[in-house]
Amino acid sequence: MTRSRHLKVAGLILLMLVLLTAGALRFLSHLPCPAEGVAFTQGRRAFMRLKNRVGAPKPEDFDERVTLEALLSPGEDRGRWSESRAGRVEGYVVEVVEGGMEAANCFSHRERDLHIHVAARPEAPRGEWVVLEVTPRARRWAAERGADWSAAALRRELTGRRCRFEGWLLFDREHAGESENLAPGARGNWRATAWELHPVTAIEVLR
């Protein structure tokens, strides 16, 4: 077989793999997504279940040391908090953006997390942001209680305003290397810390 023939065959195989993957993702996006998302190891499944928690924390679940200022405190912070605890933060919402397709949501195009970027001041740069996330499950849970946590509603009601949030603590290890606390001064940093409130379970506009 000639070199050009080899390249054509390889190109066809690659095209078939791309089409099969796209078809599989479309199929998965129409099935109920389990709490462990699409994960193939025990550790990854446990991490996805943390991301997809549903329900408000009890009063005893809150770590009262958690504040926006504490989360923003510089330094190695991998073990600073516990993922079994919840926290409350108050700050200004810089922006509300839709996250990408990810394993936690079975790579669904329609069911995606919302990122609420919170800082001590409305004009804070990326390196001073704390990331809070509203998951599709949290959005449905809020809707059952009469709250609209859609992207449009949260963007309209929260952007530029000082708000109080409650939620479960999560260390997003997938983005730890893009945080100022763990990679000080790195060019691609877009957050202060990899610790998040994820999922958010309460939102209150203060002013």
CATH code where residue 186 lies: 2.40.50.140
- Alpha-carbon distance of 112 to 89, in angstroms, equals 23
Predicted local confidence at residue 5, as pLDDT: 67
Domain of residue 18 covers 1-31
Predicted local confidence at residue 24, as pLDDT: 55
Q: Are residues 177 and 97 in the same domain?
A: yes
In a domain, 43, yes or no: no
What's the domain count of the chain? Answer: 2
Predicted local confidence at residue 174, as pLDDT: 92
Question: What does the block give as tokens for 75?
Answer: 């330094």
Q: Are residues 122 and 201 in the same domain?
A: yes
In a domain, 180, yes or no: yes
More confident residue, 192 or 9: 192
Predicted local confidence at residue 31, as pLDDT: 72
Q: Are residues 184 and 106 in the same domain?
A: yes
Whether 159 contacts 93, CB under 8 Å: yes
The 3-state secondary structure of 47-59, one letter per residue: HHHHHCCCCCCCH
Question: For all residues of the chain together, what is the average pLDDT?
Answer: 91
158 confidence band (pLDDT: 50, 70, 90): very high
More confident residue, 2 or 35: 35
In a domain, 90, yes or no: yes
Question: 18-27, 49-58, 101-110: which has the minimum mean pLDDT?
Answer: 18-27
Given a cut of 90, whether residue 9 has pLDDT beyond it is no
Among the listed residues 44, 63, 107, 96, the one whose alpha carbon sits nearest the alpha carbon of residue 195: 63
In a domain, 182, yes or no: yes
In a domain, 86, yes or no: yes
Q: Are residues 73 and 9 in the same domain?
A: no
Q: Are residues 19 and 80 in the same domain?
A: no
Question: Mind listing the pLDDT tens digit for each residue in 125-155?
Answer: 999 999 999 999 999 999 999 999 999 999 9
In a domain, 85, yes or no: yes
